[in-house]
Amino acid sequence: MSVAGKHILLIISGGIAAYKAITLIRLIQKAGGTVQVILTEGAKHFVSPLTISTLCGRPALSDLFDLTREAEIGHIELSRSVDLVVVAPATANILARMANGLADDLATTCLLATITPVLAAPAMNVRMWEAPATRRNIETLRRDGIAFVGPEEGDMACGEFGAGRMGEPEDILVAIEDHFAHGAGPRPLEGKTILVTSGPTREPIDPVRYISNASSGRQGTAIAEALAAQGAIVKFVTGPAEFANPKGCEIVAVETALEMEAAVRAALPADAAIFTAAVADWRIAEPADAKLKKDASGTAPELEFVANPDILASVSHLPAGERPALVIGFAAETGNLETHARNKLARKGSDWLLANDVSPGTGVFGGADTRILFLDGTGVDDWGPQSKTAVAEKLADRIASHFAAGS
């Protein structure tokens, strides 16, 4: 189902990303929807009520005690007469007020009173996004049924880099369309938190050189988007992949295997964990502080390697209560696929394993297609050649069936 004919209540709170709300309004209108806007007092410092009113063709609201407006359509009716409430940008402040049930202005009063689904697009400094208080508020709101889109990682107006930047208006529109496409009922993975790792890692040799692999991150992104489409809360930990990050997921970007291990630990607990990342098996014991130079003899430098942590195995062997209920690994092999896959499943201790052949000439690394052998400890299922998107959707369906069966 599209946005056409839908009425959206857009709450704009006071952050620099408020300017993106103007583009979001136009996108919703272009898709056939209508928009009523509530501006917080802080939002007025970034976008003017006149601009918003002109775009929407109706007054931008902000005053809780506007008696004329209250007589025409009260805040209770306002919050319930729409098809979806969108908070964009959702600052740390308004998320905290939502999580604690405050109703001290028109925006938070409508949010507390609404029985309509709410979609929030967080936007804040990376330190605020990572703060324990914000993490608690996000988890509280998720338990309350609030859906989220983003935030993204990138450069920020404050000059820092990291997670916390509001998703692009186009991505928010996709999340709105996805909401209507799946209807009002619960989706199969609603309320489940799933961790997905993706992409390669880079292990530095010196400040300009590193050891890595050809993983593009395409399969991990496809899986994350398929899970999010079924209602899962997806925490996406990714190395420096070529493929774009998935929409509607919480993104954590890392470089090295040690950083990925720390990010995975921070993302737990989770109901399921899927390890698609191609993590380097080794790293340089002592990366050089300066670029390594060739000497007159042309002798190559000696590099000492040490083993990286086995992230899949360590999570698979966590004690009950800490281990995700379902742990899924991936195996990229270049020969004897089934034998290596069976050995890896036994050695790593995961519940399921998806193996594929990445030999030169297969086009799997970076390509759109693959061929999967699925192992679950009871046998091997050859999924045959198919696109990575189809693999992702099949895996998401299988995970949903697993949880539905109470396995």
Tens of pLDDT, residue by residue over 209-228, are 999 988 889 999 999 989 98
What rounded mean pLDDT belongs to the chain? 88
Residue 200: pLDDT over 80: yes
Summarize pLDDT for 23-79 with one digit per residue, the tens. Answer: 999 999 999 999 999 999 999 999 999 999 999 988 999 887 764 555 555 656 776
Give one DSSP letter per residue of 246-268, joined into a string.
PTTSEEEE--SHHHHHHHHHHH-
In the beta sheet, which residues pair with residue 36?
Answer: 9
For residue 379, what pLDDT band results from cuts at 50, 70 and 90? confident
Residue 378: its pLDDT value, please?
Answer: 86
Residue 159: pLDDT over 80: no
Residue 190: its pLDDT value, please?
Answer: 83
On whether the CB atoms of residues 355 and 331 are closer than 8 A, the answer is yes
On whether the CB atoms of residues 57 and 26 are closer than 8 A, the answer is no
Question: How far, CA to CA in Å, does 67 sit from each of 35, 36, 63, 345?
Answer: 22, 18, 9, 66
Residue 67: its pLDDT value, please?
Answer: 45
For strands 203-206 and 209-211, give the pairing. Answer: antiparallel
Summarize pLDDT for 161-188 with one digit per residue, the tens. Answer: 777 889 899 989 988 988 887 655 567 8
Residue 399: pLDDT over 60: yes
Provide, rounded to the nearest whole percent, the portion of the chain with pLDDT above 70: 93
Q: What is the mean pLDDT of residues 316-322?
A: 94
Look up tokens 């007589």; give the residue: 71
Residue 72: its pLDDT value, please?
Answer: 53
Residue 370: pLDDT over 60: yes
In our burial notation (b when 16+ CB lie closer than 10 A, e otherwise), range 129-150 reads beeeebeebbebbbeeebbbbb
* Catalytic sites, residue numbers: 158
Summarize pLDDT for 88-109 with one digit per residue, the tens. Answer: 999 999 999 999 999 989 999 9
Residue 71: its pLDDT value, please?
Answer: 52
Q: What is the mean pLDDT of residues 297-302?
A: 82
For residue 357, what pLDDT band results from cuts at 50, 70 and 90? confident
Q: Which domains does the chain have, with CATH numbers?
A: 7-181 (3.40.50.1950), 193-290+298-404 (3.40.50.10300)
Which of 119-128, 288-297, 353-362 is predicted most confidently? Answer: 119-128
DSSP H helices in 83-193: 92-99, 106-113, 126-130, 132-143, 169-181
Token pair listed for 10? 């857009």
CA dist 14 and 39 (Å) reads 8
On whether the CB atoms of residues 284 and 296 are closer than 8 A, the answer is no
Summarize pLDDT for 7-39 with one digit per residue, the tens. Answer: 999 999 999 999 999 999 999 999 999 999 999
The residues near 4 (Cβ < 8 Å, ≥ 6 apart) are 31, 32, 33
DSSP H helices in 182-321: 218-229, 257-267, 311-316
Residue 186: its pLDDT value, please?
Answer: 65
